[in-house]
Structure 1
């Protein structure tokens, strides 16, 4: 969640005005003083309009001059309001009820009927015809896509303008303007434009994007921010049952399950582009669910959506988002096909949902043109290259953009390029930018190298006591072909110095051929993961053990040297061949890794020296990355499965190595969005070691004696409680995203989220490995029955905390067995 943390940091520092031609805003009420939600507000003789929100409030602006505002609502007389000037804000408008329609008003404002409802009859026609519309109606298709991404700081006021934060940057407020949806004043801070040619084949189920041009201003060297912006805007289809963004599944108003989630009202009918269309207004049946409110127009012969507006309600259970607004337009290709021409998305980020709170607008505009159909291309055309920098696309001329923009930039957007060019040259801005970068990456940037991670500067464990760590990495740019990382650490209790150093070099970008290696001498908690890693500078669990359940008295000293060659022959499929040498010995007093050297079990050694060769295959289908250097950023971090297969060979007598063995490990992780039921994650891992090995080389079932959540561990197990050389484990977790709590009045307003989990492991240990063990620890494996535990959790506590209670299911007879455990976790989640 580092990307979200970065965004929230920008919000904290979030930051006369250029006028559009006509601006109106205010509130609509009825004769009794009650507000009128979802009323239609349009400029007379135009298609520019909006609807009032739940409180009857509205804001509308247009580039043209208008002198009349029209307000209408089912059950009320249509009202025309003269506009005396180009700016009319804080208006109070009262509608007069039509007595003959009072019953309809009650139906509209409450729960509408699912029977004898003409709006739902039309919706069913949409369901019946939805597969015949758009590009899915053709075997092959192609089109040009223009995308515009923008970040704006909103709620600009005198307090902000006069803040000392912006000393030396006051000129930026000359570029402020008013948002056409919310009416808030905003300051553009980032813009990214791109033009793509998209090809698709519905027979092959393949699609390919070719980047023709890309241009941005503002943070243009910070790949993480740009990737975050890209990841926010997931592709969505209103005809599918769920619309996914911000890691959530919102029920689409066009969904076949929509009648259980929304109220629908047939509001109007009119000709649009010479097609007779019906207007349907919709709004949620229940509060706090992942739903929208708005309206859509449907053609009366094709039953295709011509235009749709979607807006989240203020009580929707999503963090840091005050409002999401979506608008899509479709054009008529012929009598049966409608194609999308425009897709606008806006999210209003904020630390809270108060109207007056400052935040950031994230906006995306997609425009589509130059559609072509049934132009078949060979299957090889759709193969995705591993190496695709397309550097020419980032250096396009002004003439290219004038020809390929499908809509001209407005005056505010043109000003962003000018403003940001000046802004990045000011010291004050660069200070803020550096602070935001540290918060996001954990590194302090210098010329050619970074210090960090700053979060690892201090630690604690029973062996080292208080521990200090200082490290850094080389960094010249986001596409560096090589990188060196190193750290040094000192424990004030054991008074010993530790270190780690690693380097990797990209030799061939086309095949992603990378060589790397390094060495680490440190104190480590072995057995923190079933699936082994030979990452030299991996996270040290021992360094964050200030709060433990019981004694953390089983730490080891490790001297690890690694060399590896890696390549990516196919996109998202990597092959890694490596060798490592380990020296292991106990670091905690009273802890032993002893083993018998001879068959008579008379000679004992307390240190393990082991040479190991490994071949690792990793496949991550659907992963999206950016950059083409030795390290790349993952854009969609939690949206793709991971498959990992490792074959390791331990070789005796190579560099004084002690054991011969073979080890096979397989790991599979799958995130799942289950419609409106929330999000699940499933992981499975299994492995086997062939040959007798001592405790230090066995597969320890990972316990967790801390109070913090650790990935794929068993919180009710102590370290080394179960030891195996053959194992299979499964971890299941499901987050309901507040679906259950939203139905409980006392919990509804807290926006809490329900989480359930289940974990199980089965394993055994061979008699040969038991025979050579001299550690004195009881080598227990969960071989009579699978060990299991289950958990119940509450997430989104104060928006940043999660609390879980874990229950052991069996093996209560183990020494000092814990029947229950508690863990907490912190992070920014939508």
Structure 2
């Protein structure tokens, strides 16, 4: 009862803003829902279509008294509106019996032959390269972008939620969504204006931001960047539209006829151009597809208008619905250019209609197009350093001039509401909690405590372990930062610590000096490619549950000094020196080595000075910030090339060995259309010179039940040791494409993962000879060691389980043939 009163009050309150509002469902003579029927206010272009359940919602600020319901194959109904607000309408459309076979929408497959809609689709494919900015050698245009986030499903229970105590005034700014009819509360808005330049000949593109403005968070560029990263760029003419780390089949795809049903529904003149209206909807359930319709010109075969809406059963987490609208204008009577792009996401924990959630809305308006104005290739190479604070403080006059459409009264109110909200203690407490969850640090004035996720750990050497740490933090663009921690093991009764510092010396070249010291216990055999992080510590060092004895840990004392610069965007050069001592942290494990030619005298401690040069190239990586540390905003969307050349220098600081080492690492994420996403990792390395076990390349095993990046889960620690190696890791996530074909199983939205790993290596007789650890050192030189895995992801939306199987070398000491690992994470 209270909920109904609240909604009635809200509808009355909104009546002055929305003059006409209707909702309901459309059914046929038998009471069955009629999907994709047209719902249009009479004598206007304001309308919508019913969803797959025949339901609709339509709102307009104008005063209408008549609405028209139509669909080819049904008799059109013109319905007068007795009240400006008419909800729960039930409209019955009568079928035209002479056209039923032609236009009836059915599940399953419709004919591809003698289908005029498919014939039109083929003409779209043939002409798509000739439309839009791709029709020109070079292009440039201005782009206005508006991002907005809203809480939806606002009702009395939400208003009274203790979470909002002290913030109740925000509900005065609630409104109603035009597409869903849900009450929502705007909580964030960001506007930006930029100039985009592109060259189709050389395949380059760059964007210059002219202004950026948002509600209350102008200094938090990380937040702005993360919000923007939710929305990947897409082209409706591409075969796949990629967002939320998923590839959705485009209705204009050349494989679309195998994925969608198409129906030619109508013809009409739009701006004096004859256009065809085609309705499309998916052939199967649980696939990454859309439903909706588009208008296409009858001579250029270019899209004039299109809308796309994801199916409710699409295998994507935390998203109830995605809705896209695009509009195009004619250039020179032939080329159609994008002028408006609207993208709305309904984020929610579940997909029930009545559940609350968050709307994420993006509106992009394009204008001021110019073509074939060539610029040199160097123009597209963005500078590494771009500090333009004025971008975030443009005047009101700038925004009045550059907005392509005015803000609504509700959107203007967001700025007012957020400014007031930031002054409340309740909001700041909530904001702090979200910040801690995202960064892992608790913020204080000038420094942060954390990361909180490393407070506790356990391994067989240290037993229960606690760690307290912190860092300086005056802002996200600090030019220097100091970070440190202290840790204590309650089994070995030893104190550990680490401290490091970074200073940005030159902003344009990003010249950084860094250094520090760490004394801790580490699992060295957990990665082939050496970490350059002075405070780094692998997950394998803190195993709560392990398989067999997991006591092969090392006490390490590492001191390092490095210089790094980025002369070209995403290409970094790092030169540094380090000194480290290593010895076993456990009486059951030894790093001993012979120090004489007669192999009778041993040493238990390794002292080593090393000088290294590291080159890293990450093309396509996007970062935010210009301080000594930056945030990466597209973590899994770019390849990584890593080359390390280092030399060990004997006798400097009593260093023990002379040697050279070369290591190469390559990582490539790949989106393979509708088949899912793959990850390819290749590593290679070689040591020149004789070194003991602690300086060799250990093939990374994993004796825990938790997944460790680029390790071999069926290998034990130190099972294979090499001085020359080549390894490959392949993994493919089908994103539920296979499970979606299995009844009952598909409702669980599980995702199937397959993987394979292999490593070949060798170990010289000289390096074997100086080993005095008691371990049998062997390399996979009789043929590559390999294993494969089968996994199920998205269990309860956060859990992944993998079963791993050994492919060979079953005769190794204590060899395991099978392993299970688990990992947790929130993924779309």
Both proteins in one fold, TM over 0.5:
yes
2:537 equivalent in structure 1: 539
Q: 1:523·1:542 contact (CA, 8 Å) conserved in 2? A: no
Among 168, 171, 181, the alignment partner of 1:170 is 168
Q: 2:702·2:711 contact (CA, 8 Å) conserved in 1? A: yes
For the residues of structure 2 that align with 1:107 and 1:421, how far apart are their CA atoms?
Answer: 50
Shift of 1:108: 5.1
Superposed, 1:269-308 pairs within 5 Å as 269-308=267-306
RMSD over aligned Cα atoms: 1.1
For the residues of structure 2 that align with 1:786 and 1:222, how far apart are their CA atoms?
Answer: 49
For the residues of structure 2 that align with 1:667 and 1:377, how far apart are their CA atoms?
Answer: 35
Q: 1:566·1:577 contact (CA, 8 Å) conserved in 2? A: yes
1:610-640 alpha-carbon deviations (Å, 9 max, x no partner): 0000000000000011111111111111000
1:743-765 alpha-carbon deviations (Å, 9 max, x no partner): 11131111111100000000011
Secondary structure of 1:249's counterpart equals: strand
For the residues of structure 1 that align with 2:522 and 2:511, how far apart are their CA atoms?
Answer: 30
Secondary structure of 2:236's counterpart equals: coil
1:491 equivalent in structure 2: 489
Secondary structure of 2:769's counterpart equals: helix
For the residues of structure 2 that align with 1:561 and 1:658, how far apart are their CA atoms?
Answer: 16
With over 3 angstroms needed to count, the CA separation of the structure-2 counterparts of 1:100 and 1:110, relative to structure 1, is farther
Among 351, 354, 367, the alignment partner of 2:352 is 354
1:186 equivalent in structure 2: 184
Shift of 1:219: 4.0
2:547 equivalent in structure 1: 549
Q: 1:328·1:340 contact (CA, 8 Å) conserved in 2? A: yes
Q: 1:467·1:543 contact (CA, 8 Å) conserved in 2? A: no
For the residues of structure 2 that align with 1:625 and 1:107, how far apart are their CA atoms?
Answer: 46
1:422-469 alpha-carbon deviations (Å, 9 max, x no partner): 001100001111111111111111111111111111111111111111
Secondary structure of 2:654's counterpart equals: coil
2:607 equivalent in structure 1: 609
Superposed, 1:700-715 pairs within 5 Å as 700-715=698-713
Shift of 1:334: 1.7
With over 3 angstroms needed to count, the CA separation of the structure-2 counterparts of 1:411 and 1:463, relative to structure 1, is same
1:411 equivalent in structure 2: 409
Among 576, 585, 588, the alignment partner of 1:587 is 585
Secondary structure of 2:690's counterpart equals: coil
Greater CA deviation, 538-547 or 176-185? 538-547
1:297-346 alpha-carbon deviations (Å, 9 max, x no partner): 00001100000000001000001000000000000012210000000001
For the residues of structure 2 that align with 1:823 and 1:785, how far apart are their CA atoms?
Answer: 26
Which structure carries more relative contact order (alpha carbon 8 Å, separation 6+)? 1
Normalising by the residue count of structure 2, what TM-score does the alignment of the two structures yield?
0.97
Greater CA deviation, 533-542 or 761-770? 533-542
Secondary structure of 2:823's counterpart equals: strand
Secondary structure of 1:655's counterpart equals: helix
Among 526, 529, 534, the alignment partner of 2:524 is 526
1:673 aligns to 2:687 (yes or no): no
Superposed, 1:202-601 pairs within 5 Å as 202-601=200-599
> Across the two proteins, how many residue pairs are aligned to each other?
815
Q: 2:621·2:637 contact (CA, 8 Å) conserved in 1? A: yes
1:9 equivalent in structure 2: none
Secondary structure of 1:538's counterpart equals: coil
2:742 equivalent in structure 1: 744
For the residues of structure 2 that align with 1:110 and 1:45, how far apart are their CA atoms?
Answer: 36
2:808 equivalent in structure 1: 810
Unpaired runs of at least 5, structure 2: 1-11
Q: 1:593·1:774 contact (CA, 8 Å) conserved in 2? A: yes
Shift of 1:225: 2.9
Normalising by the residue count of structure 1, what TM-score does the alignment of the two structures yield?
0.97
1:5 equivalent in structure 2: none
1:57 equivalent in structure 2: 55
Superposed, 1:25-104 pairs within 5 Å as 25-104=23-102
For the residues of structure 2 that align with 1:414 and 1:659, how far apart are their CA atoms?
Answer: 68
Secondary structure of 1:781's counterpart equals: coil
Superposed, 1:732-771 pairs within 5 Å as 732-771=730-769
With over 3 angstroms needed to count, the CA separation of the structure-2 counterparts of 1:537 and 1:23, relative to structure 1, is same
Secondary structure of 1:775's counterpart equals: coil
Greater CA deviation, 544-553 or 90-99? 90-99
For the residues of structure 2 that align with 1:361 and 1:419, how far apart are their CA atoms?
Answer: 18
For the residues of structure 1 that align with 2:219 and 2:118, how far apart are their CA atoms?
Answer: 50
Greater CA deviation, 132-141 or 665-674? 132-141
1:533-592 alpha-carbon deviations (Å, 9 max, x no partner): 131111343542110011111111010111100000000000000111111010112210
Q: 1:17·1:176 contact (CA, 8 Å) conserved in 2? A: no
